[in-house]
Structure 1
Amino acid sequence: MKKLTGLLLASAVSAATFSQAFAADWYPYDAAKIEPPFAEDGKSVDVSYVPLEKASKAWNICVSFPHMKDAYWLGVGYGVAEEAQRLGVKMNLVEAGGYTELAKQISQIEDCVANGAEAVVIGAISFDGLNNLVKEVRAKNIPVIDVINGISSPEVSAKSLVSFYTMGHSAGEYLAKKHPAGGEEVLVGWFPGPAGAGWVEAANKGFLDAVKDTAVKVLPAKYGDTGKEVQLKLVEDELQANPGIRYIAGTAVTAEAAQGVIRERGLEGKVDLLSFYITPGVYEGIKRGFIAASPADSMVIQGRIAIDQATRLLEGQEVIKHVGPKIFVVDKDNVDSVPQTNILPPDDYKPVFSVN
């Protein structure tokens, strides 16, 4: 395993400094890098990720998210804010308000750059729709880090993300093992998220590939924004149209929203819930037995790594250009032993939009 070496600690730290600023509270972290970076057919190589211990100056980093409407992006936000504070860099976070707001995201990033951002971290609304913007930003010699969702531009400087194909595949594998070929057919309602987003298309392909040639029959995907009201309506409509459904699988918001519907309709034990990524609501649902399982992509760590990558690029330090935490499945058997603050924000966390 390769470890990246952080900067040496200063010999003295003021007592007024954030008390845990340089503590190894999250690293080294089991991760996987892609070689060569950004290649669709790249090889996954295990690494132990170690960030810098401190930035050499308070770099100005802009972070752009699709929205902060669900706990998933709250978790990524927790990661970027905590790592910015730990490293001693400035961070300003903007959010566009939803996956329909591509033009707003582009405008917000342009404003960030105009206001002096030295690096930009982007959780992309669209896989292809930001490519012209990335080209413009990189032409100004400003690093662009692709976090979580995926951007198709080859001009990004680094990627902090996992394979959502693997996330979807892991969720599908869970069902495939329970219902192999030859068994009684089970019907699955599938809700992968907003159409056109890179992470959604990847997860959709992974999920469908995993259940191919099994007893799992997946209904046509129901796409929609990851707002709770949107997902709730999709689930209600699918249950109405297909009363024989055995599983509801999809985004974390889908699983969270569906819990109430399942209870209200007396479907406990008849319809099980499955998410292909984890949030506090999914985590609690697994602990309470309302949700069967979910792969974990450690979204907090992805946010932390993105800020570290941006800082390394600004300082001319060695950087792993394409890396993400290792994926593992959380279910009732291991949920109590998973370190919560690596994969989720604290229970009482409120969004932090600026670190100075």
Structure 2
Amino acid sequence: MAAYRHYLPSLAIATCLAGPALAEPWYPYDAVEITPPFSADGKSSPVSYTPLEKAEKPVSICVSFPHMKDAYWLGVDYGVAEEAKDLGVKMHLVEAGGYTELAKQISQIEDCVAGGANAVVIGAISYDGLNNLVAEVAKKGIPVIDLVNGMSSKDVTAKSLVSFYTMGFETGAYLAKKHPKGSEPVKVGWFPGPAGAGWVEDANKGFLEAIKDSAIVALPPKYGDTGKEVQLKLVEDVLQAEPDVRYVAGTAVTAEAAQGLIRERGLKGKVDLLAFYMTPGVYEGIERGFITAAPADSMVIQGRIAIDQAVRAVEGKEFIKHVGPKIFVVDAESVKTVAKTNILPPAGYKPVFEVE
């Protein structure tokens, strides 16, 4: 770790759950580095992440999101916008409108690069579908940062993301602990998100791996876009087809959308909800007792780190190539002590598309 003069030793950090005020620095932050970088089975090592104080030259960063339809990406937007302001760089954000809009995402990024972006940060719609584009951008000497969702491209400069395999695994492990092997079997409806997205496939593998030696019986995955209407319809269909379902687990949108349905049908306490990542709606649902648990992946920090990586790459400074915040599970007990700072956007936050 001596090579990274901006990364403090892991022991120097107080736990990220301590919850400083919003006005105070978000760093140093408890994180995990993967070595070798970009490897599926790399070694995880604790690191403490501290960004640059300011950019040393003018930098313009293009940020591309799949959509801005749910609070998760709003949180990532808060992270990239705030870090761009902190570092004193320009940021232009585009969003494609949904996980079916791969061609639009590619076109938007091409326009960004043509417009003079010095670096590109991508929340990818498809695990493999942007590889040709990334190769072309990289050939121009423009750094590409893989943010949140994951891409299979070997031409990316850095990754700021967590393992969605671990997110799914932690969610499944939470259930497996409640219903160990040998106890009465219980059914779980499983809603991992849009088919084909890298983060969805990873979460699906992790969840199924965690429950395989337990009394949890997972129904076949129900894939769908992370719009509330789509997820609500999927949950309604499963509850009708499988009236003895004990849990509904899936995306944050799934859990948020299902709360009203569970109340309306008088199923509270009979069908419990879990999400495999955190949003403000999931956090509030846990506080109110309508959602059982969810791992927190600190999406705000993922956004902040991606901007810092981009600036470091443009300026030729050292950076960790593959890193993400440490994951921890929030439930009814721990939600009382977990501060929202850094794991969620502020209440009432509106999307920011430009930082000048």
TM range (shorter): over 0.9
How many Å apart are 1:39 and its aligned residue? 1.1
Counterparts of 1:142 and 1:133 in 2: how far apart (Å)?
12
Give the distance between the partners of 1:6 and 1:268, measured in 2 at CA.
48
2:329 matched residue in structure 1: 329
Distance (whole Å) between structure 2 residues aligned to residue 287 and residue 180 of structure 1: 26
Q: Distance in 1 between matches of 2:252 and 2:212?
A: 23
Cross-structure match for 1:263: 263
Range with bigger deviation, 331-340 or 104-113 = 331-340
Whole-Å Cα distance in 2 between the matches of residues 339 and 79 of structure 1?
Answer: 16
What is the letter of the counterpart of residue 177 of structure 2? Answer: K
Q: Which residue of 2 aligns with 1:316?
A: 316
How much has 1:41 moved relative to structure 2? 1.5
* 2:344 paired residue number: 344
1:276 offset after TM fit, Å? 0.2
User: What is the TM-score of this pair, normalised by structure 1?
Assistant: 0.94
Runs of at least 4 residues of structure 1 off by over 3 A? 1-7
Distance 1:2 1:296, change over 3 A: farther
What is aligned with 2:176? 176
Deviations 1:2-28 (A, max 9, x none): 694459xxxxxxxxxxxxxxx751000
Q: CA RMSD in A?
A: 1.2
8 A Cα contact 1:6 1:53, kept in partner: no
Matched residues, percent identical? 76
1:38-86 superposed Cα distances (whole Å, 9 cap, x missing partner): 1111100100000000001230000000000000000000000000000
Distance 1:332 1:300 in 2: 22
In structure 1, the partner of 2:227 is 227
Compared CA separation, residues 77 and 313, structure 1 to 2 (3 A)? same
TM-score (norm 2): 0.94
Counterpart contact for 1:32–1:46, Cα < 8 Å: yes
Partner of 1:82: 82
Instruction: Structure 2: state its 5+ residue gaps.
Output: 8-22
Give the Cα separation in 1 of the matches to 2:24 and 2:32. Answer: 19
CA separation of 1:156 and 1:265: change in aligned 2, threshold 3 A? same
Question: Contact (CA 8 Å) 2:126, 2:198: kept in 1 or not?
Answer: yes
3-state SS of the aligned residue for 2:229?
helix
Aligned residue type for 2:267: L
Give 3-state SS (helix, strand or coil) of 2:209's partner: helix
Q: Secondary structure at the match of 2:350?
A: coil
Tell me, what secondary structure is at the counterpart of 1:341? coil
- Take 1:343 and 1:4, find their aligned partners in 2: how far apart are those partners? 25
- Separation in 2, partners of 1:2, 1:129: 37
Whole-Å separation in 2 of the counterparts to 1:247 and 1:109: 39
1:81-110 deviations in Å (ceiling 9; x for gaps) = 000000000000000000000000000000
In the alignment, is residue 136 of structure 1 matched against residue 106 of structure 2?
no
Q: Describe how 1:6-17 pairs up with structure 2 within 5 A.
A: 6=6
Matched residue, 1:19: none
Q: Could you say what secondary structure the match of 1:68 adopts?
A: coil
Query: Who is 2:44 aligned against?
Result: 44
Corresponding residue of 1:158: 158
Contact 2:6–2:49 under 8 Å retained in 1: no
* 5+ residue gaps, structure 1: 8-22
